[in-house]
Structures are given as C-alpha cells and as structure tokens.
Amino acid sequence: MTRILVVDDEPQIVRALRINLRARRYDVDVAPDGVSALRAAAQHVPDLVVLDLGLPDMEGDEVIRGLRGWTTVPIIVLSGRAGSQDKVGALDAGADDYITKPFGIDELLARIRAVTRRTQAPGEAAPVHTIGGHVIDLGNHSVSDARLTPTEWQLLEHLLRHPGKLLGQRALLRDVWGPQYATETNYLRQYMARLRRKLETDPAHPRHLLTEPGMGYRFQP
C-alpha cells in the first residue's frame, strides 16, 4: 500500500485528506509541523509527501531541502501561497509539483497518480511515448516522422523522463543548457514552441507539452 505523509497545520484539511486518501486505499501519516514531518519521514519512509509551505515552526522550503538531503521521494506542495516566487522557490528546493489552495480533491489525486508513476525502476527498459502520432523511443533516441535538433531532443527527453512532473524553469535551463543560462527563460519559450510545432497535433492547444505559467513545464502522457 502506498504510504503518503500529509504535512499541514490546518485540522480541517488534514481530516479531509486523510478521509479521501484512505478511501482510495492509501496509507496516511500526518504531521502538523516541519520538525515532526522530518522525524515521521525518517521513522516510516513515505512513498509521497503532501506538504503545506506555511508551517508554524519552519518554512516548507526548509522541509523540502531536509528531505532532499537523503531521499528522492516525490513531494507535492499544497499551499495557499499563489505567488510565482513561492512556487519557483519550492520547485527549486526540490518539490515535484505545486497545487494552490483551495483545491479539488480530484486534481490532487491525479497529481499523486502522476508523480508516483514517473519513477522508473532500476533496470527497466527505457520508456516509449506518443505525442500527436509521433512515437518517441528514449532508449533508441528516436522520433518517428520528425527531425529534432540535439537541443530539442535534450529538452524533450528531460520532460519525458519525468512524466506528469512539473519541472521548474531554472532546473530545465540548468540541466539542458547549463548553469550559466539559469535566467534565460526565453530559450525555453522558443524551444517549447518548436517542439509543439513538430510534435503536437494542434500546437496552439497542446495536450502533452504543457506550460504552467510562472512555474515551468510538464509532459502529460
């Protein structure tokens, strides 16, 4: 059974999440603050963490960095902070996704399913994905019926290796272009537009290569 650690100091939200997650056969642990969250994660390692940023004893970013010091467990931030800087800060600290309160439980459940699917087991064959009728084989580094530049392929591969995960702009720029390009967000806009024109059936209304305004990009299978 998948174990989820819910970290939030609002009793109503904790209660609602516990009821809804347990009804869908998730094992749920809860923590009201950062210190108890880090302790709970160390004692019973969760499969996923749902984390509020506004905790009474420390910032949620600190909890994320504390977890990232020893685990790659997926972290979904669930916060009332809607500012882009809060979102970017959480993603840069190591969060996998960000949902703003108030939220729909169906959306949260979909995000949970997406981030728990994305981790590829060691030794598992490289995945094959389809975008707009184009078959992308990560193992063979091939795309059917389309020609990509090396940089376009690098960006696409990075997105496809993290299906459903929201990837921050700075992280993508650093991983694809290098740390000296961390602020060149225009690069991402240009290359994502190129990928959509080459792969999406309707580039103006993409189904798979998605933009999360002010935060980053996501490959939706």
Average pLDDT by consecutive 10-residue portion of the chain (221 residues)?
Answer: 91 94 92 93 89 92 89 88 82 89 89 74 65 88 88 89 86 82 88 96 96 90 87
Q: In the prediction, which pLDDT does 118 show? A: 64
CATH code reported for the domain at 3-117: 3.40.50.2300
Domain with CATH 1.10.10.10 in the chain: 128-219
Domain with CATH 3.40.50.2300 in the chain: 3-117
Torsional sign, CA 78, 79, 82, 83: negative
Q: How far is CA 61 from CA 29, 31, 55, 150, 157, in A?
A: 20, 16, 10, 34, 27
Tokens found for residue 214: 């002010």
* Architecture, CATH, for domain 128-219: Orthogonal Bundle (1.10)
